Every structure is written in C-alpha cells, then in structure tokens.
Amino acid sequence: MKTIDELLTEGVAGKRVFVRADLNVPLDGTRITDDGRIRAVLPTVKALADAGARVVVASHLGRPKGAPDPDFSLAPAAARLGELLGSDVAFATDTVGESARSVVAGLADGQVAVIENLRFNAGETSKDDAERGAFADRLAALADVYVGDGFGAVHRKHASVYDLPARLPHAAGYLIAGEVAVLKKLTEDVKRPYAVALGGAKVSDKLAVIDQLLGRADRILIGGGMAYTFLKAQGYEVGKSLLQEDQIPAVQEYIERAEKTGVELVLPVDALTATEFPDLKTKAPANPTTVAADAIPADQMGLDIGPESCKLYASKLADAATVFWNGPMGVFEHPDYAEGTKAVAQALVESKGFTVVGGGDSAAAVRILGFDETAFGHISTGGGASLEYLEGKTLPGLAALED
C-alpha cells in the first residue's frame, strides 16, 4: 500500500488530489456536536495543501436516499474544516455537477475544497457495478490523484471508496495508515493478556467478531444491550431488557467454546434497571434500581451494568497488556446510565497496556463523557470497519489501495 509520504516525495504541487475523507459527523440541525472525524483527516489535508496540491475533499454524511437532502448537507463540515485549517475552504453544492467542476477548476495551489455529500448521488452506494462505475468516472474527472483517508467507510464497496482508486494513481492517507497499523497490533503478535470489552445494543452485530476473538483474546467482557441475550442463554430472567431470541443458540455455542478454549467470558453480575426507557431529550431523572443480573424483574429492563459489574470489569482490564473496546455498557447518553461506560473508559485510561477505543458509539462516549482523548492509546474513527477487520474480512477500501 503506497503511503501519502511517498506521494509527497514524488510531488503533488499543482495536482488535483481527491481525498476520500470521513466527515460523517453528528449534527444537531446545522451544529456539529462532535468534530472528531474532521480533526482526524486534518494531517492529510494540511500536508497536501502545504505541498501545493489542489485538495478536493469528499465524504458521505448520514443516509440520504441517493438524492439531495438539506438535512444531510456537508456544508457545516466544510465550514468546520476551514476553521480548523485556518483558511477558507470552498464548497461545491453538488457532487459531480456544474458547481463541483467550477469549484475544483477555481482552486489554486494549496487551496482546499469540499464537494457535497457523495450519497446525494445514487451511484455512490449502488450495488450495480456499472452504475457505481459511471459515478466513479465522473468523480475521477475532478482529480489527478486519489488519497484514501476515510477509514470509517473502507468496509463499504462504494464508488468513492472502491471504484475510484482503480481509476487514479492512489495512496493511503495518514489516518488510514495509522488505523491499519493499530489493527495489526490487535491481530498480529498481540501482547498479552489481551482483553476485549464489547457492548452495544445487538448481539447479532458482534457475533462474527466474537467468533474470531474466541481464538485470540484471553478474556472477553460483555455489556450493553447484547449482554441480556447472553444472560438469557444461561437461563436467567431478563425482564423487558433488549433481547434477540433468535441469537440464543449461537450465544450458547460461544459460551461453550469459551469454556473449552480457556477464554474468560465475563458477564454482568448486576444491572441498573427501570420499567421504561429513559427520556434522552430532557434527561429527566430515571431513578434506576440495582438488581442482580440473574434476577431482573419481569417488569424491568436492564439499561446499564451495575456498580459491582463496574468494579469487576475494571479489575479484568487492569492487568491487560492489550485492550480493545467497542460498544457502550449501557444507555450512556443518559446520566443515570452512564456509569458502566465511564468505568470501562476509566479502566482504559488507567491501563498501562496498549488501549484501543474501537470507534462508533465508544468514541462518541469518550468525548461526551469528558475524557481526555490523549489518555487512550488510539481512538478509531471507524467502528464498523474496525470490527470487520478484526473479523478477518477483506475491506474493499483497503484492498483498492493495494498496489
């Protein structure tokens, strides 16, 4: 995989460099609530601009249905990128139309532009190779060189991620190169003990990675909504907690495999429960009840791991030489159910090992809960991409960057 440093050595002055970034930031109207993904691509964009390239930044945002939708415009992200760069960033109001062509043509050496949300064009996400390829052709006309730096999208076979690199000289940006280096530390010559904390809502989203980790990790901690399917698989009452009944046989199989292979599978010993899901808008006090994890009342739902589980999980992470965490332990968006996620994050902060926060909600939680990002070994920008890499899958966006 060619790196951006090699590209810079060859020289990019005067060249139009298409940077596929991940500017898929959370928005409250037009206000960005977390600019982490924009900051993550800054080193690549700045290096190219400083070297005299005419930088064309492109990304998706949200899930528009293949047509322009003002709710998913990249205009706020473009404005924030300009603020972080300390220079004006031009914005094209379409992807490959008149505005994009005009804005790119107007760039001088060292200037940066952002084109509108790639998913406003149906060709970006099409499953039809010809339709996707036709969109990639039009994107290629805007550039001389391609730099892939949107790690959060490399697991997608999309036009700007998979098809476009085949049409231009290409290289990996600093973000992707860094993410891959970190993931190799989690899959090759791993320092032990290797502990993994997995949370989030659905166990089905994590089954494939658990399957792989049962042959690699020394201990796996399970939290979040997915924990209740594990508890139910052991025959425990989980009340109204989130439950995927159809996944119970697979979970039972994994519990048995963990026992046979000597992987320590750690489940909650207590939980914070309530009769109703909390109001995340008003964040009104929810008055949770602490109950044993194996005896959740029938009219209650588990919404976070309990205080004893917090202590248990912290102890299981304390001596680990390598830690990977993906998925919150509870409904961290509400203060009454954030302690489990805080406990895991704090354990990573205090760890002397190599710690990785696996993107997605985990990365958002770190910022929302006020942790210093520099206290972690690495915070990934791509939760889904990180998980699929750990599952052993070939990621289209990475494969496309291989020489």
Rounded-to-integer distance, Cα 277 and Cα 363, Å:
23
Question: pTM higher than 0.85 for the full model?
Answer: yes
Whether the per-residue pLDDT at 236 is higher than 90: the answer is: yes
CB 46: neighbour CB atoms within 10 A?
17
Check residue 233 and give its pLDDT: 97
Residue numbers belonging to the annotated binding site for ATP:
206, 302, 333, 359-362
Averaged pLDDT, 206-233: 95
Whether the per-residue pLDDT at 51 is higher than 80: the answer is: yes
Averaged pLDDT, 97-125: 98
Residue numbers belonging to the annotated binding site:
22-24, 37, 60-63, 119, 156, 206, 302, 333, 359-362
Rounded-to-integer distance, Cα 157 and Cα 338, Å:
35
Residue numbers belonging to the annotated binding site for substrate:
22-24, 37, 60-63, 119, 156
Whether the per-residue pLDDT at 21 is higher than 80: the answer is: yes
Whether the per-residue pLDDT at 403 is higher than 80: the answer is: no
Check residue 189 and give its pLDDT: 83
Residue 196, phi then psi, degrees to nearest 5: -125, 130
Check residue 287 and give its pLDDT: 87
Cα–Cα separations (whole angstroms), residue 275 to 162, 244, 340: 46, 19, 19
Q: Quick check: 112 and 55 in contact, CB under 8 A?
A: yes
Strand, helix or coil at 121?
coil
Check residue 360 and give its pLDDT: 81
Whether the per-residue pLDDT at 359 is higher than 80: the answer is: no
Identify the CA nearest to 351 among candidates 310, 323, 313: 323
CA angle, 373 as apex, 91 and 317 as ends, to 5°? Answer: 140
Averaged pLDDT, 348-356: 97
Identity of the residue numbered 264: E
Tokens 């603020």 locate to 83
163-181 pLDDT, tens digit per residue, is: 999 999 999 999 999 999 9
120-135 pLDDT, tens digit per residue, is: 999 999 999 999 999 9
Whether the per-residue pLDDT at 315 is higher than 90: the answer is: yes
Tokens 């792989």 locate to 212
Whether the per-residue pLDDT at 235 is higher than 80: the answer is: yes
222-231 pLDDT, tens digit per residue, is: 999 999 999 9
Q: Which domains does the chain have, with CATH numbers?
A: 4-173 (3.40.50.1260), 181-391 (3.40.50.1260)
Averaged pLDDT, 32-45: 93
Task: Provide the pLDDT confidence category of residue 34 given band limits of 50, 70 and 90.
Answer: confident
Q: 145-148 and 170-172: which strand pairing?
A: parallel
Check residue 36 and give its pLDDT: 87
Check residue 89 and give its pLDDT: 98
Beta bridge partners of 114: 57, 91
Rounded-to-integer distance, Cα 330 and Cα 290, Å:
13
Averaged pLDDT, 173-191: 93
Residue 205, phi then psi, degrees to nearest 5: -70, -20
Residues 6+ apart with CB under 8 A from 220: 195, 196, 197, 198, 210, 213, 214, 258, 263, 264, 265, 266
Residue numbers belonging to the annotated binding site for (2R)-3-phosphoglycerate:
37, 119, 156
Check residue 39 and give its pLDDT: 94
* Mean of pLDDT over the chain: 96
Q: Quick check: 151 and 380 in contact, CB under 8 A?
A: yes
Check residue 308 and give its pLDDT: 98
Q: Which residues are known catalytic residues?
A: 37, 202, 360, 384
Q: Quick check: 268 and 309 in contact, CB under 8 A?
A: yes
Whether the per-residue pLDDT at 215 is higher than 90: the answer is: no
Identify the CA nearest to 322 among candidates 180, 222, 187: 187
